[in-house]
Structure 1
Amino acid sequence: MLQAALRSGAAHRRSVFEVFTRRLPDGRRYGVTAGVGRVLDAIEAFRFDTPVLDFLADQRVVDDATLSWLSDYRFTGSVYGYPEGECYFPGSPIMTVEGTFAEAVILETVVLSILNHDSAIAAAASRMVNAAAGRPLLEMGARRTHELAAVSAARAAYVVGFAATSDLDAGFRYGIPTVGTSAHAFTLLHDTERDAFTAQVESMGRDTTLLVDTYDLGEAVQTAVEVAGPELGAVRIDSGDLLLLAHRVRKQLDEAGAGKARITVTSDLDEYAIAALGAAPVDAYGVGTSLVTGSGYPTCSMVYKLVARASSNDPDAPLVPVAKRSAGAKSSRGGRKWGARRPDAEGVAEAEVIGTGPVPDDLAAHQLQVPLVSEGRIVGREPLSAARDRHRASLDRLPISAAQLSRGEPVIPTEYYSGG
């Protein structure tokens, strides 16, 4: 596309691309925007260095004129979008990329790959946080996905309220709190379970978390208290009937004088299992596989579509709305759009309003897009703490049924507005 557009001259037309999704995953009530900070980093670093250009030349992917254009590539356009942590709905203009056709179209894959992955993880993680009802969630999925995806998954989970991650690389890159516990291999390494617990307590202190289900759970809990004393920090249960076992372990810890010892449960948890454990004396949940796979929906099906382009190469030429008009569910709406969330009289969201043209006065204060890149300069960077606060505030403004795990339609409808 780039090579042909450069040859025709249309590559230099001012263009507007939009990231949106036509639907939410089946049964989900809302989506979560995540990965925005990573997109900004990717745009800033997007370059074609000599080895890459040599590869494109050797493989005859593009011609010499295109190689020359790529060698000088720098994104000089502007980007607007829903800020990280904000909820979205079908049709929401999650990100708008404006620039020449050439410089904007080439960002499609990197933008979509980040937003689709991170937003899918964040949506699943947000449901888990809701199900946990205030109990901390620990991200433990690094062994269940690609090594780089694991880091971005930990980041996305933290944005929506996970307390910590077991992935040290995520802690190193993004400042996310890190936690960990021993595995069964550590216990099996030692001649006895007591030897293993003693080694861990002597090394890590009494506030450590001991894994107690390698052999006999009851004996392990007793040994853990004998080794660490009443100051035992926590025990982890990783198998079996977690609801039943958590009650038994809590009773045993209390009777042994370790009433302050916490109980962490793991073992293929998802939002439904977490909700089912709501009545159990559990203090924290460790979640891995279901989190890093989006709890069954590893992508958000976001697309990157051209919605407007200039009528000519003149920098002042007016923008013309364009849209795909094919039959079926893949048609799209043309024009540069804004998104706003209309509240009811109580301040609770009642509709996602998507429009073109002037924003109605009653929606002006409720617009959702913010500047992210201005003429090639990153302006939308923020700490992860800001995204965490925003997500909680965004959820708090949605109807309470947004937190339901039962299948249903998006918690608010999407309405389209065309201004004059």
Structure 2
Amino acid sequence: MNTADLGLPVDVPSTALFTDQYEFTMLQAAMKAGTAERRSVFEVFTRRLPEGRRYGVVAGTGRVLDAVENFRFDADVLGFLRERRILDEETLEWLAGYRFSGDIWGYPEGEVYFPGSPIMRVEGTFAECVLLETVILSILNHDSAIAAAASRMSSAAGERPIIEMGARRTHELAAVAASRAAYVGGFTSTSDLAAGFRYGIPTVGTSAHAFTLLHDRERDAFQAQVNSMGRGTTLLVDTYDVAEAVRTAVEVAGPELGAVRIDSGDLLLVAHRVRQQLDELGATSTKIIVTSDLDEYAIASLAAAPVDAYGVGTQLVTGSGHPTCSMVYKLVARAESADSGAPLVPVAKKSSGGKTSIGGRKWAARRLDEYGVVEAEVVGTGPVPDGLADRQLLVELVKGGDVVAREPLDVVRDRHTAARASLPLSATQLSRGEPVIPTEYVNGRTGSRTGS
């Protein structure tokens, strides 16, 4: 796998150091204790959704699969660990041959999730699984946060397309991942060429205010852009006076002008005025695109405005106020010994302070009501109850170390649209509230049931 596919600089040979040091020190100590080879089950979940959110969106799964494949320890990486005296030679020798050989199950990318949903399950030896904690969490926490914000924005936009244009508002590599996650969440295109190159996302872009300011007259700037890009281009009309710019734009491009972009002012009022002016000038098919620090609430407020498309930057790449999903990667079961046939026993953190977890290898299913609408997220251990067997959510992603579930990004995007549509209507309300459905915990062996 070429590291460029991961959004990495070409001189980064692997993802093995996208991690925290304590994962290596745990590995070394476990090797010395003879427990490193115990079969283990880790699960990724979140205890709660960001405040006010009704659902979460699973995003970044495809990038996780790439990262796991590329988790390798070459001479440079081993040399760094040796030079820093982080690990002893026995552990370094083990890492030199590291290849994840276990299994990974997870919610399909684009699916929705709720508190307690086991969105990813990693199974193998403790040694090979523990090393993947940070890289998996860093990808899923970031991408899922962006996708959730994108989902809320695309829902608020209805059928109107949204352009992702936040590259300049975040780290250059995070921008590529954010663009991918936004596309999963329902955005239609991106301004980021690296995202278009790596993931095939449609790219768009025309000009900024600097291009208008470069020229002696606004008319000269518009003429230059039309000469270069044709009459179907989008002209930015708020550098000086919007009404005058719209008039000039139609004079230069004619009624075939593709679109005008408004990037400041009272967007609701200005959009109405611009639409009226365009129609009076005969440019009835010219579209109106609005930008200017939009979020889902601003987009919703423009639902009645004559707007044809939105461009979103800062609020998208920062998760619209929630840049992480607080997902965790917890050991939930481990074998009693390193023997290959040793049974798994549930384990869980039991400390106070709201950080307890539920032990055991889990399944998850979604129960529907009589109208076919989702009414509960059901998470359990042991046998799956009758009626839920065909509603299970986890699918196999990696088998024996081999990736078995890569998907085109458009498939993931369509899945999210369908998953969101399956939820109760209140899922898309922007008012603050609890998760739109409860999470129920079931012990399949005892039949006991609890909720959250």
Q: State whether TM-score is above 0.5.
A: yes
2:333 to 308, 311, 314: 308
Alignment match, 1:237: 262
1:114 maps onto 2:111 in alignment: no
Shift of 1:155: 0.4
Shift of 1:34: 0.1
CA distance in 1: counterparts of 2:242 and 2:348, whole angstroms: 61
Question: Which residues of 2 match residues 290-305 of structure 1 at below 5 A?
Answer: 290-305=315-330
Question: Which residues of 2 match residues 194-273 of structure 1 at below 5 A?
Answer: 194-273=219-298
Identity across aligned pairs (percent)? 76
Shift of 1:50: 0.6
1:33 maps onto 2:58 in alignment: yes
SS across alignment from 2:249: helix
Shift of 1:388: 1.0
CA distance in 2: counterparts of 1:354 and 1:12, whole angstroms: 28
Alignment match, 1:49: 74
1:124-157: CA deviations, max 9, x gaps? 0000011001100000000000001101101011
Alignment match, 1:149: 174
The code of the aligned residue for 1:203 comes to: S
1:91 maps onto 2:110 in alignment: no
CA distance in 2: counterparts of 1:124 and 1:252, whole angstroms: 34
Question: Which residues of 2 match residues 42-191 of structure 1 at below 5 A?
Answer: 42-191=67-216
Shift of 1:398: 0.5
4+ runs of 1 displaced by more than 3 Å? none
1:290-311: CA deviations, max 9, x gaps? 0000000000000000000000
CA distance in 1: counterparts of 2:301 and 2:229, whole angstroms: 32
More displaced 10-residue stretch of structure 1: 152-161 or 86-95: 152-161
Aligned residues: 420
SS across alignment from 1:22: coil
Structure 1 residues without counterparts, runs of 5 or longer:
none
CA distance in 2: counterparts of 1:380 and 1:23, whole angstroms: 28
1:342 maps onto 2:367 in alignment: yes
1:327-362: CA deviations, max 9, x gaps? 120010000001111001111000000000011121
1:36-94: CA deviations, max 9, x gaps? 00000000111011111001001101100110011111000000000100000000000
CA distance in 2: counterparts of 1:320 and 1:163, whole angstroms: 46
1:183-230: CA deviations, max 9, x gaps? 000000111100000000000000000000000111100000000001
Shift of 1:396: 1.2
Shift of 1:385: 1.1
SS across alignment from 2:182: helix
CA distance in 2: counterparts of 1:199 and 1:30, whole angstroms: 46
Shift of 1:181: 2.4
The code of the aligned residue for 1:384 comes to: L
SS across alignment from 1:264: strand
CA distance in 2: counterparts of 1:167 and 1:328, whole angstroms: 42
Structure 2 residues without counterparts, runs of 5 or longer:
1-25, 446-452
Shift of 1:380: 1.1
Q: Structure 2-normalised TM-score? A: 0.93
Q: Structure 1-normalised TM-score? A: 1.00
| RMSD after superposition | 0.5
